Copies of this chain bind each other. A is one copy, B any other.
Amino acid sequence: MATARRSRLSLDERRQQLVRLGVDIFSERPYDEVSIDDIAAAAGISKGLLYHYFPSKRDFYVDVVRYSAREMVAFTELDRTLEPPARLLASLDRYLDYVESHARGYLTVLRAGIGSDPEVAAVVEHVRSQMVERTLADIPHGRVDPPAPVRIAVRGWIGFVEAASMDWLEHRGMSRDRLRDMLASQLGAALDAAKAEG
């Protein structure tokens, strides 16, 4: 029993090690250019053993995207020890840190390409929902459910954050701090507009 549990743990741990390696690989090179052989070589294992952990390159990739999504959400968690304006700025700093160091993966997943895979799209949608819920939970609106204009404003803002970040990663021309300030002020403006509409 103990042995079975131990080897099961090692299998999961080994799989997670490979997935973490995958995050690095896909942050540097496009999906189509990475072969199963490359992944096995980077991990220092045989292709056969890699297939023991993941049935296909696509399965591996989907797990990498899932892992990276969880990592990003955790990394950008709102820090409750900070006051609201600093809290948002700190979270956006970490968001931009994360997307900058995983630029290729971020762009691939948010554009079409392999990112168009339904399972990958579900991960993207899940991350968006988490970001929306987290942002809404941090806005005092005195109701269990936020008023519709507030929800629409926050959803729209997440769209702004993604689209602006993608353009910035591709073309730059603006410092990260200034982009962060623009993103933060957009949330304020969107919520003001939602209240004016409410």
Q: How many residues of A are counted as interface, with CB atoms below 8 angstroms from the partner's CB atoms?
A: 48
Report the nearest B residue to A124, measured CB to CB.
Answer: B112
- Interface of A, helix, strand, loop or mixed by DSSP: helix
Query: Are the CB atoms of B181 and A152 closer together than 8 Å?
Result: no
Q: Within 8 Å CB of A173, what residues of B?
A: 147-149, 151-152
Binds B, one of A36-44, A65-73, A154-162: A154-162
**Does A134 interact with chain B (Cβ within 8 Å)?**
no
Q: 1/0 contact trace for A163-197 toward B, CB 8 Å?
A: 11011100111100011011101100110011011
Query: Are the CB atoms of A155 and B163 closer together than 8 Å?
Result: yes
Q: Within 8 Å CB of A21, what residues of B?
A: none
Query: Are the CB atoms of A166 and B155 closer together than 8 Å?
Result: yes
Contact surface of A with B, Cβ cutoff 8 Å: 111-113, 115-118, 120-122, 124-125, 147-149, 151-153, 155-164, 166-168, 171-174, 178-179, 181-183, 185-186, 189-190, 193-194, 196-197
